Amino acid sequence: MVKVHIGLDDTDSPRKGCTTYVAALLVEKLHDLNVRFVDYPNLIRLNPNVPWKTRGNGALCLRIECDGAIVDEIKETVVETVEENSDMDCEGTEPGVVFFYREVPREVEAFSKEAIQGIVKMETALKLLRRFGAEAFGFKDGRGIIGALAAVGEPLKGDHTYELIAYRLPENRGTPRRIVSSSVLEMDRKTGNRTFNNVDPETGRILITPRGPDPVLYGIRGEDPQTLRRAREIVRSEEPIERWVIFRTNQGTDAHLRRVSSVREIRPYNPVIVRGVVDEAPRIIPGGHVIFSIRDRSGRVDCAAYEPTGSLREAAKKLIVGDLLEVYGGVRPPSPRNPLTINLEKIRVLKLAPHIVLRNPLCPRCGKRMKSIGRNKGFECKRCGLHEPRMEKIRCEVERELKPGLYLASPRSQRHLTKPLSRYGLEKEHGTFRMGNSIPYNLFSSV
């Protein structure tokens, strides 16, 4: 028996296609070849801030064991399926396929982590492929080889989630998706915190259905396959489902965020966690976006909470100078009009600064709030007429509306990788995943 990791990436375009759909087709074809799946299909979300991503920047890996005599047939099947189902006419689509024939080494895992948290180069990927005797097939410039190898290199040993993705018939793609909203609400209620980001609580918007022309009908994200299969039975569709597959994934784990020790270490396009003190009060710019800055001993950086982030934006509006924060988000490079900026996904308020306001003093004779006579002229009481030229405004601390704690963007604007509040405390520990001896019951289904 031969173990093979099959990585795929960059088959889709903004106008059509989806690499998860290519993987779904391959799951069925490989199953027909009697391979043994040693894992669920892996959906690995890479750095969401790279400028050349299509949509969710997801790469796929299928991990199998098979008879060595059919390896060539498997390779031919995979490459043909990728070629037939990629949008080759789109300028930015550059599919890549990787076949890796051994246990994933630490060097490839490190490459994958960098692809999730930063920027990697094709040169590095090709060197690793040669070093470990892997094979790669690239179409056009083959940029997808980078993501394909990164998917191979993330075995999801630690925290992970699952997603059940149902796909549409070809004739329905590009039309409005027909899902019964009340059934999604029912599913969300019955599955509790075992699924997440089904509905946006602020707007009531259904979040399991994408809006683009891709073949996905809906995707339900959750903690375990059993819950997802039960959720699928609750959700009702008014259009036929072509097939569905359960993926194991790094979605909802914050895998993209890298803690840096100072503002000076922040780099464009990297998702970061950094601590600092608010040094410029929040301001609202056209579009309703909130901008503020934080600083530490090494420098300062702007932070942006965009209008669609909802509750995160509302929390950002309540910050004041002196608040101690941890901010989480992707780094937007500087431009002629704007400095380097962290596009916020989360804020953790660590310590609130006292909110001090200056108020006119109370009249010592009758207790009414006094009025200023003029600059450096003191105060007088309009009720009893007392005049006190030496009195000054008094400092008062006002209770803050904001409280210490974690504030997230509303679910409708969360990235695939962002860990939602419902998952805190449900993280899976290192090494908890076990596949078993055969493909799990109902890993996939097709008509």
Q: Which of 287, 302, 305 is nearest to 345 (CA)?
A: 305
| pLDDT reported for residue 443 | 67
Alpha-carbon distance values, 258 to 176, 276, 429 (Å): 37, 15, 19
| pLDDT reported for residue 438 | 45
Distance CA 249, CA 269 (A): 22
| Paired strand residues for 444 | 245
Cβ neighbours of 220 (radius 10 Å) = 29
pLDDT single digits (tens) 149-162: 999 999 999 999 99
| pLDDT reported for residue 376 | 83
| pLDDT reported for residue 375 | 84
| pLDDT reported for residue 119 | 94
151 CB contacts (<8 Å, ≥6 apart)? 7, 8, 9, 42, 44, 59, 60, 61, 98, 112
Percent above pLDDT 70 for the chain: 96
pLDDT single digits (tens) 298-335: 999 999 999 999 999 999 999 999 999 999 999 999 99
Distance CA 354, CA 352 (A): 6
| pLDDT reported for residue 441 | 45
Question: What angle, 0 to 180 degrees and rounded to 10, lies between the N-to-C axes of helices 144-152 and 106-117?
Answer: 120
In the chain, which residues have pLDDT < 70?
54, 431-447
Distance CA 315, CA 141 (A): 44
Q: How many CA atoms lie within 13 A of 272 on its CB side?
A: 25
Single pTM value for the model: 0.91
Burial call 14-39: b when 16+ CB within 10 Å, e when fewer: eebbbbbbbbbbbbeebbeeebbbbb
